[in-house]
Amino acid sequence: MIDIFQINPGLWMILAGLICALVPKGDTFALVRKVFIIGAPIFAGVMITQIYTSQEVLAGQITIGGLELTTLRIDNLSMVWGYLFCLIAVINGIYGFHEKCRITDSSALIYAGAAIAGVFSGDLLTLFLFWELTAISSVFLIWKGGKRAYAAGIRYLALHVLSGVLLLAGAIFYAHSNGGDYSFNAIGTDTLGGWLILFAIGIKCGFPFLHMWMQDAYPKASITGTVILSAFTTKMAIYALARGYVGVDILIYIGAIMTCFPVFFALIENDLRRVLAFSLNNQLGFMVCGIGIGTELALNGVVGQVFVHVIFKSLLFMSIGAVMYRVGTAKASELGGLFRSMPITAVFCLIGAGSIAAFPLLAAFVTKAMIISAVIYEAAYNPGLYVIAAMLLFASAGVMEHSGIKVPYFTFFSHDSGRRVKEAPWNMLVAMGLAALLCIVLAFPWGGYQILYSLMPYEPNYQPYTVDHVVFQLQLLFAAISAFCVLKKFKLYPAEKRGEILDFDWTYRKLGLGIMQWIGAMWTRLSVQTKRLRERAIESAGRRLFQVFSPAGAMSESAPSGLAAVLTAAMLIIVLIFVYFIR
């Protein structure tokens, strides 16, 4: 008899997604799918609660081809991601309640289930399976964005399948150097397999030069699809880093770069969903840097930042998605003045903006400073880390500029675009309201942030609401606000213009395409020349054979005239004898 408490909770959501794919179309059946899409993550969350105790749980062992796979491992690290993914899956289900798309419903459940199953994987091969399933299931959410999304989805799928291939190759090399052990624990960079796995994670995590898929695919996905996509893939990658690469120094520098470079792109970007995609990359940098630092304070900060980031980033994507649902665009140059038509959405967007900017009493205020403080503490032993701390502070001010100010300002305020629309649908407002409430509750000074801190893997010895921290953070934020006001006053702030901002993806979308076209042209020319040479060779050989074997050729001149007849008669006799004896 199967013990349901040894089944990976993510598998229940994958099963629910497959059932949704089989449910017929129609309004009544659409309601059935919505029951699954909201109920399945609740059930998975209950199963996590029932399975997990204060001790690590290893279960679901399966032996395949002599390899023992551990399909379920829940401990104080993976448990946080499991609860978070279940929570945000419920909110996403409410947000998309108005949609009646069977593909979106089933893909969203399978995608979220694969992410949960991935973080609960106890070995690298099981992780690979769900790693690839997240890519395959999520690409349909991009393709639902329309014709423009098809090519972006293909590029997205190609990169993520490549990530999976690298993960599998790295797992094989790592196990070979580790006595055949595929357990998913600390990996490090001492082996070739460790480097391959790190590169695979880097693709999903958006390392510099590997990040372009986010800004390419997320803004082109469907409205609901973008919200769903923002929650799972990159956070699953952060979990893999936190599980396998704690204290790896190179991550400190990679993370610091990740926090800074998106700031410049986001400031000049016109598509607000793309602005939020750059902002997502910026926030991931803080987490990567914290994992590289590797101290208890840093890892607590990473876990807390992941938890609140999924919530406030989803809130920002939901608010812009609601605007896009009513207005039909997310271009800053075409928006403005919508606070008159969508005041509730505007308030929720401001709460999300304040949360990502780490305003006191809002979500990131109680988590992001833990990572920066951990860097500063370690700088006492390694002075070079003061540069990293300065980069993180710059990035904190930068996120205030592009996500804390730009997104709500150009959407709901700024110039009046003259658009008068309805407020967002009730289900979108409920989902945004839940996310906004969590942004406030999880940062509340009296008992609120302690709920968040209780989920952290180590004992949190950190007090966010000190006078020094509050004053310093307010100074940083108001400096960023003042800079924005001055730049706008003197018309120095980058104007919102229609256009495409080129990123590193230019290397394969433009330069790479040009190189391939050149290679194709050269191959065509070479084929033409080769064809001509081949035709000449055949023609020359034909002339030579004609000269030798034709009636007027050399063979006829040098052989007796009756030789051909004699040879033919001899061959006929041999055939007749052979047939006679084998009859």
* Token duo for residue 314: 């989803």
* pLDDT the model gives residue 153: 93
Mean pLDDT of all residues in 233-240: 96
CA atoms of 345 and 413, how far apart (whole Å): 12
Measured between its terminal Cα atoms, the distance across the chain in Å is 67
Average confidence score pLDDT of the chain: 88
CA 493 to chain centre: 31
Residue with tokens 């695979």: 200
Q: What is the mean pLDDT of residues 258-270?
A: 88
- Name the pLDDT band for 244 (thresholds 50, 70, 90): very high
Cβ-based neighbour number of residue 76 at 10 Å: 15
Tell me phi and psi for residue 209, to 5 degrees. Answer: 75, -5
Q: Tokens 């801190």 correspond to what residue?
A: 453
Average pLDDT over residues 277-300: 94
Contacts of 532 (CB under 8 A, 6+ apart): none
pLDDT, tens only, 63-109: 887 788 899 999 999 999 999 999 999 999 999 999 888 899 999 99
Residue 538 pLDDT level (bands cut at 50, 70, 90):
confident
Closest by Cα among 149, 39, 138 to 97: 39
User: How many domains in the chain?
Assistant: 1
Is residue 558 scored above 60 in pLDDT?
no
Question: What SS3 string covers 503-559?
Answer: CCCHHHHHHHHHHHHHHHHHHHHHHHHHHHHHHHHHHHHHHHHHHHHCCCCHHHHHC
Residue 175 lies in a domain: no
Do the beta carbons of residue 276 and residue 320 sit within 8 Å? yes
**Sorting pLDDT into bands at 50, 70 and 90, what band is 209?**
confident
For Cα atoms 300, 287, 296, give the angle at the middle one, nearest 5 degrees.
25
Nearest to 41 by CA among 219, 231, 303, 204: 231
pLDDT band at 551 (very low <50, low <70, confident <90, very high): low
C-alpha separations of 181 from 12, 71, 137 in Å: 28, 15, 29
Name which of 395, 444, 194 is nearest 289 in CA terms: 395
Residue 574 within a domain: no
pLDDT at 44 over 60: yes
> How far out from the chain centre does Cα 474 lie?
32
Say how far apart CA 272 and CA 266 lie, in whole Å: 9
Confidence of residue 222 (pLDDT cuts 50, 70, 90): very high
Q: Is residue 279 part of a domain?
A: yes
**% the chain with pLDDT above 70:** 90
- pLDDT of 367: 94
Looking at residue 254, its pLDDT comes to 96
Whether 297 maps to a domain, the answer reads yes
- The pLDDT confidence band at residue 142, using thresholds 50, 70 and 90, is very high
What number of residues does the chain have?
583
Q: Which of 23-27, 442-446, 515-519, 545-549 comes out lowest in average pLDDT?
A: 545-549
Nearest alpha-carbon partner for 4 in 63, 46, 54: 46
460 lies in some domain: yes
The residue segments making up the domain with residue 260 are 246-496
pLDDT value at position 493? 77
Q: What are the Cα distances from residue 414, in Å, to 7, 160, 357, 410?
A: 52, 38, 20, 5
Q: Per-residue pLDDT averaged across 436-450, rounded?
A: 92
Q: Counting beta carbons within 10 angstroms of the beta carbon of residue 167, is it exposed (0 to 12), middle (13 to 18) or buried (19 or more)?
A: buried
Summarize pLDDT for 148-181 with one digit per residue, the tens: 899 899 989 999 999 999 999 999 999 999 888 8
pLDDT band at residue 112 using 50, 70 and 90 as cut-offs: very high
Q: Rounded CA gap, 399 and 403, in Å? A: 5
For 353-412, write each residue's pLDDT tens digit. Answer: 999 999 999 999 999 999 999 999 999 999 989 999 999 999 998 888 888 889 999 999
